[in-house]
Chains A and B, each alone.
Chain A
Amino acid sequence: MSVVDTPTRPPRGSAPHRPEHAARPRRRRDRTPWLLAAPTLLLLAALLGYPMVKMVELSFQNMRLRELISGRAPAWVGLDNYTRVLSDSVFWSVVLRTVAFTAVSVIVSVLFGLGIALLMRRVARGVRLLMMVAMMFVWALPQLVAAQIFRWITDSDFGVINYLIDKLPGVDYQNHSWFVSPAQGWLVITTLVVWAGIPFLAITLNAGLTQVPKELIEAATVDGASAWQVLRSITLPMLKPLIVIVTTLSVIWNFGLFVQNWVLRDSHPEPAFQTLATYSYTQAFGQSRYSLGAAISVITVLLMLGVMAFYIRQMFKIGEVD
């Protein structure tokens, strides 16, 4: 949600482009913009750039608790951390799990989001308002609070979900533990992520749908297109750039899953509930293997690099960046 742009929707039908030269005659070497940007760039360099370099450096060293306390420079160990991580089957199962979770959760969220957005176009005004309000509340909830609520409603002894499922005929869900089986535990985590993700997706896609020109749809209908054909040949293609963007963002966010599994597993996720982010964190801060954690982080970022580049290219392509 952090990459959402401002409401600078240009008025329809305004002159598309101002002639470049007329607007700014000052093309001479002007240091002002750099001076203006300098504080931002310095801060980003110091607290994002430098740590990034440090993270890579750290991954080639052996930083443990001893080095941290004594302040001695950690020894260089070359690729040791990487060979250790990459030859560890636990690591690969974490990678696989993270990828699988990302794939499933993104597909489900985007399909749901799209479905809800389409539904919003179809319902009565009052119902649409209700849906909007419901989603706004969910969207506004802090991630941690949302995760705590889910922890509470899936509580084995007093959780309302067990109570409700137990009411179904022939099902005994009293004192059922949702996190004994990884499959069920991940069902809860995925539900939480999808539930929390739908508002952004549905509201954004709904806003996109409102911009699909009515005339096109009317023309198609007059020509005898069915609702399904209109959806497939007009609505979805027009919505595609937006769908691509929100899907990419969802991939990036969900791949970095940390809060939900962390909170639902009481800050100590069992091996079956580790994702790359929590795994790296646990190695570093739980086991004081800072270098190993850094190596895992580096690999995580490398795995995501392609998707991130794709997102930025899309942003340039749709003209958000002029």
Chain B
Amino acid sequence: MARSRVDDGVLTVGRSRVGTAFANTGGVLFSIVMLFPVYWILNTAFKPANEVLALTPTFLPKDPTFANFTSAFKAPLFLADMVNGLIVTLLAVAGSLVVGFLAALAIARFRFYGRKAIILVVLAVQLVPFVSLLIPLFLMLQSVSLTNSLVGVSITYLVLILPYTVWTLRGFISAIPRELDEAALIDGCSRPQVFWRIILPLTGPGLVATSVYGFIQAWNEFIIINTLNSPDKQNLMAWLLQNQTTRGTAWGPLMAGAIITSIPVVIFFLIIQRNIATGLTAGAVKG
């Protein structure tokens, strides 16, 4: 990375050639081990069926084919579940962005009685394992006929990603110098105008990063949707789960389906990785 000249310092002590060679070998080996499962899913997905189920696995497809991908697309409910997943995810992200932004604004820009309590709630609810709330949630949505509905799941996902959204946007808004607000106020802006003309535009990148992360979380969820909805109202993750139990495992199409399902989130993740990786450390190590 760009700043490596500066940060090489941590372990430079006692640095020997042999040691560095050792370290480099270790680093390469580690990368290979980490990437092996990723490589194997790609390897499998492009093999024809007979090669997937070969007793001696081939380490590169002898006969590369797209057959698994086409059969995944043609599999029952694959496209339907893809559309469902998109609808549910986009609704949840849009909703939580709007709702969460307002709350983030309150926490970041106002000092008021109860502010710490709200922060506490936002932090705490992120830690509650959602699976444990599934029983009452299921009964609750059932009683208002929102099980087996995309609306019920969308609202659930909205709430699932909301705490994170609030927490992250809070950080982005706090990063905007308050002096900008004040200057605008002095120049005759009203408070809503400050919001529309200063804070919202400056939080733009933050909104993108936050919604992308929300998208990843909602897209990857399957336990809730698998519990609340029947297969025709589920998403691709749940499809991947079902696929294993119904008729044995067709590994080739399953791996191809898994790749199709992962592509959007992997790309999104790689785009915003910088935010995720540097975020947590911001306050933790005071240099």
Is A165 among interface residues, defined by CB-CB distance under 8 A? Answer: no
- B20 in contact with A122 (CB, 8 Å): yes
Is A54 among interface residues, defined by CB-CB distance under 8 A? Answer: yes
Residues of chain A within 8 A of B129, CB atoms compared: 256, 258, 277, 300-301, 304
- A7 in contact with B278 (CB, 8 Å): yes
User: Considering only CB atoms and an 8 Å cut-off, how many residues of chain B contact the other chain?
Assistant: 131
Say which one of A86-94, A100-108, A220-228 lies at the interface with B: A220-228
User: Considering only CB atoms and an 8 Å cut-off, how many residues of chain A contact the other chain?
Assistant: 136
Chain A residues touching B, majority SS:
helix
- A52 in contact with B245 (CB, 8 Å): no
Which B22-40 residues sit within 8 Å CB-CB of chain A? 23-24, 26-28, 30-32, 34-35, 37-38, 40
Chain B residues touching A, majority SS:
helix
- A58 in contact with B284 (CB, 8 Å): no
Is B71 among interface residues, defined by CB-CB distance under 8 A? Answer: no
Smallest CB gap from B13: residue in A: A227
Using known A-B contacts A4-B276, A6-B206, A207-B277, determine if residue A145 contacts B240 with beta carbons closer than 8 Å. Answer: yes
Using known A-B contacts A6-B171, A138-B34, A258-B223, determine if residue A122 contacts B19 with beta carbons closer than 8 Å. Answer: yes
- A48 in contact with B133 (CB, 8 Å): yes
Is B93 among interface residues, defined by CB-CB distance under 8 A? Answer: no
A63 to B209, CA, bound (A): 42
Residues of chain B within 8 A of A221, CB atoms compared: 12-13
Q: Which of A9, A39, A163 contacts B103 (CB 8 A)?
A: A39
Q: Which of B241, B249, B282 contacts A320 (CB 8 A)?
A: B282
A residues sitting closer than 8 Å to B (CB atoms) are: 1-10, 12, 18, 23-24, 27, 30, 32-34, 36-37, 39-41, 43-44, 46-48, 50-52, 54-55, 58, 63, 68, 71, 116, 118-125, 127-146, 148-153, 155, 157-158, 160, 163, 195, 198-199, 203-204, 207-214, 217-218, 220-221, 225-227, 230-231, 235, 238-239, 241-242, 245-246, 252, 256, 258-259, 262-263, 266-267, 277, 280-281, 284-285, 290, 293-294, 297, 300-301, 304, 308, 311-312, 315, 318-322
A-B contact pairs, 8 of them (CB 8 A): A130-B31, A139-B269, A145-B240, A158-B57, A208-B285, A267-B241, A267-B244, A304-B129
